[in-house]
Amino acid sequence: MKQKKNVTFSDIAKYTHFSKTTISRYFNNPDSLTLENQEIIAKALVDLDYKENKVARILANGKTEFVGIIIPNLFFHYYSEMLDQILATYETFGYKFLVFIGNEQEETERNYIQELLAYKIEGLIILSHTIPSKELSELGIPIVTIEREDKYVCSVNTDNYMGGYQAAGLLARHRCDVIIHINYIGATAHSEIPAYGRIQGFLDCCREHNIRHEMILKEMEDTYESTSHYLSNILADIFRKYPGMKKGLFVSNDTHANVLVNLLVRRYGKLPDDFFLVGFDNSPISREAVIPISTVGQQIDQIAFEAVSLLVEQMNERKKRRPSLLETPIHKVVPPILFRRETTERGQQAH
Amino acid sequence: MKQKKNVTFSDIAKYTHFSKTTISRYFNNPDSLTLENQEIIAKALVDLDYKENKVARILANGKTEFVGIIIPNLFFHYYSEMLDQILATYETFGYKFLVFIGNEQEETERNYIQELLAYKIEGLIILSHTIPSKELSELGIPIVTIEREDKYVCSVNTDNYMGGYQAAGLLARHRCDVIIHINYIGATAHSEIPAYGRIQGFLDCCREHNIRHEMILKEMEDTYESTSHYLSNILADIFRKYPGMKKGLFVSNDTHANVLVNLLVRRYGKLPDDFFLVGFDNSPISREAVIPISTVGQQIDQIAFEAVSLLVEQMNERKKRRPSLLETPIHKVVPPILFRRETTERGQQAH
């Protein structure tokens, strides 16, 4: 491997017989040159095999075109698909992304933010949960959060209320005698967390349709095995508590819904006829389960695009001579989509 | 939100009564100052709430600490976990990552590489398959590839031969009468593709143990549904072709292994006693399947760490006054791990 010598502004000036100032103007304010001169320089860049040095340009115009991303992990399909869709917006907006995995470590994430600021990022997208939005709002750069506490910063979230309402509504339409919602204790604690809306939507739907319902709230489990053990006990309780009744379960994520399907299929060889199930997320496991699972899906592509758009608007505003900064944060909401599969639509189970 | 005025070298010089040159030396060559003076400046930075401008530093010393990553997608768990583990090496090496999703578009990936070079990345990690390693080797920067054609560049790969051998060996130990390997046609075509080794390992193990075997090679299917349809036909063929025989299947990935488990459990209510299955990847679906699937797992954390280490060595070498560049590329190999679960270990199926 050989290292090529870089072509400099001096080289281009010498080749075109323009001054270095003219060459610099070509890069930073091309319209100040005639179209003819622009073409002469453009041709020279090709002839000389000039490699643009964006780092040098950043110092000249102060614009890095960098956006920072802090994401909790890439193990959850929801996060990896979101990152995929955010990175794909490069094709539309041209911003480059510096990505950090926070792992829910508050101090680590603060260090990452300092590192990102040192690289003069123009904006920041945050999916992690540790740092309060108040603190984020004081960083002095445009910020958009996705699906987390967002009181003091701009955000894009799924309409979780509609999601909870849709799930309970589907189970109600199948005339379930009782509808049970399994979620985390954390989700009920803070009305500022978007996922809180799911519970409200579920409760409102059950009350409006006057359906017996129950909430089962659990601590977050660490491993697949401990979750499986916990859900096995829940299932035994439900069958004991509601004998002969048509039971509808709305589970806060597809991974847990899949555990329930597996437990039932291993015990009965199929899903019992009096049992209906809806998950949340439309993650791959919901389609790939032994009985494909009905689920409420988030429109991740749309959420990602809206988040970057919202950020780009603010970043562009700051490039104006007299930027008018936001007085109050903007919160955008994207509707969820209900996917009906075999855990609720029994007619299709045969195929 | 307010925008803070940046603290400059002049401000620090004024505050400490040092010259600007001394302040500059503090950042670029701190050991040229006495320890006492270093401490005075360090204290001033805190007092003034100085925000480091790495972009300015890059221009001073030419080192961006940027590494580019081009990855095909984040839909496959293998890629998202690999990216997760690569990003985690920031804690060890301090390099920041600019990430692009290639989507297997050759021209798009070439554009991404040009964009990355314009930002003066110090090295590049490539997981996508489109651009030949010969072309990559001519970019003039350190490159490490992971699990792809790597003739002309450094690489880290799983020991795929060992993986194929382990899978066939496990089925052989269960005294299968016939062992069948399902893979893509593409994997057989090029001996330079790491996955080719899986087939060689499978074949060598079957021949050494003198076991009847068959290879089923398919075109890559686009969707879960078309794959499912295809595998359903394969399964029917196998049961027709080998009646009364103990059948062992080694499937090239866990997603397909899971489809086969689902088809069988839906038909028979369980895995037939004369049927044994091993997948590849140890992806979450292998644990979360209705019958947990035995699989050959790649040590993704170790592969990621080795890849970044190999890159850092080369990047450090180039910072020396007289770098000795590699004469021939280095290829590192990481052994796979066999996970035995219920699709081969029937004794545990009851729990």
The pLDDT tens digits for A71-122 are 999 988 889 999 999 999 998 999 999 999 988 889 999 999 998 988 889 9
Which of B2, B55, B83 lies nearest to residue A59, judging by beta carbons? B55
Q: What residues make up the domain containing B234?
A: 160-299+338-348
Which of A73, A74, A266 lies nearest to residue B290, judging by beta carbons? A266
Helix or strand run (H / E) with residue B46? helix B35-47
| Mean pLDDT (whole number) for A290-306 | 96
- To the nearest 10 degrees (0 to 180), the angle between helices A160-173 and A196-208 is 40
Provide the 10 A C-beta neighbour count for residue A92. Answer: 11
User: Closest-CA residue in chain B for A103?
Assistant: B88
B26 in any annotated domain: no
Distance of alpha carbon B89 from alpha carbon A240, whole angstroms: 50
B212 and B306 inside one domain: no
The pLDDT tens digits for B297-343 are 999 999 999 999 999 999 999 888 888 888 899 999 999 999 999 99
- CB neighbour burial string for B128-140, b if at least 16 within 10 angstroms, e if fewer: bbbbebeebbebe
A100 contacts B261? CB cut-off 8 A: no
A75 and A102 inside one domain: yes
Determine the distance in angstroms separating the CA of B321 from the nearest CA of chain A, rounded to an integer: 14
A53 contacts B118? CB cut-off 8 A: yes
B273 and B169 inside one domain: yes
B219 and B176 inside one domain: yes
B1 contacts A326? CB cut-off 8 A: yes
Main-chain phi, psi angles of A119, to 5 degrees: -90, 10
DSSP letter (8 states) at residue B84? H
| Mean pLDDT (whole number) for A137-142 | 93
Provide the pLDDT for residue A99: 94
ipTM strictly over 0.90?
no
Residues of A in contact with B87 (CB under 8 A): 74, 99-101
CA-closest candidate to residue B98, choices A305, A71, A79, A96: A96
A167 and A271 inside one domain: yes
Residues of A in contact with B290 (CB under 8 A): 261-262, 265-266, 289-290
Provide the pLDDT for residue A152: 95
Q: And the tokens for A16? A: 């075109």
Which of B51, B115, B265 lies nearest to residue A290, judging by beta carbons? B265
A265 contacts B265? CB cut-off 8 A: yes
Query: Is the Cβ–Cβ distance between A145 and A328 less than 8 Å?
Result: no
B88 in any annotated domain: yes
Domain count, chain B: 2
B125 in any annotated domain: yes
A2 in any annotated domain: no
| CATH code of the domain containing A71 | 3.40.50.2300
B79 and B186 inside one domain: no
Task: Report strand pairing: B294-297 vs B337-339.
Answer: antiparallel
Q: Which residues have CB under 8 Å from A129's CB, separation 6+?
A: A72, A104, A148, A149
Distance of alpha carbon A349 from alpha carbon A269, whole angstroms: 13
Distance of alpha carbon B267 from alpha carbon B246, whole angstroms: 18
Determine the distance in angstroms separating the CA of B204 from the nearest CA of chain A, rounded to an integer: 33
Residues of A in contact with B120 (CB under 8 A): 53-55
The pLDDT tens digits for B37-81 are 988 988 888 888 777 776 666 666 667 889 999 999 998 888 999
Q: Dihedral, CA atoms, A200, A205, A206, A207, nearest 10 degrees?
A: 90
A187 and A274 inside one domain: yes
Determine the distance in angstroms separating the CA of A235 from the nearest CA of chain B, rounded to an integer: 16
Residues of A in contact with B261 (CB under 8 A): 290
A57 and A15 inside one domain: yes
The pLDDT tens digits for A197-254 are 899 999 999 999 999 999 998 876 667 888 889 999 999 999 999 999 999 999 988 9
A148 and A177 inside one domain: no
Give the Å distances, CA to CA, from A209 to A10, A42, A148, B96. 77, 69, 30, 53
B167 and B287 inside one domain: yes
Cα angle value B298/B303/B307 (rounded, 5°): 155
Provide the pLDDT for residue A347: 62
| Backbone Cα Rg of chain A | 27
State the best of B57, B79, B80 to mutate against chain A, taking most chain A CBs within 10 Å. Answer: B80
Higher pLDDT, B214 or A190: B214
- Using 50 as the pLDDT threshold, list the residues of chain B that sit under it: 1-3, 348-351
Burial class, A103, CB count within 10 angstroms (exposed 0-12 / middle 13-18 / buried 19+): middle
B225 in any annotated domain: yes
Residue B39 region by backbone torsions, left for phi larger than 0, else alpha for psi between -120 and 50, else beta: alpha
A3 contacts B119? CB cut-off 8 A: no
Provide the pLDDT for residue B33: 86
B242 and B172 inside one domain: yes
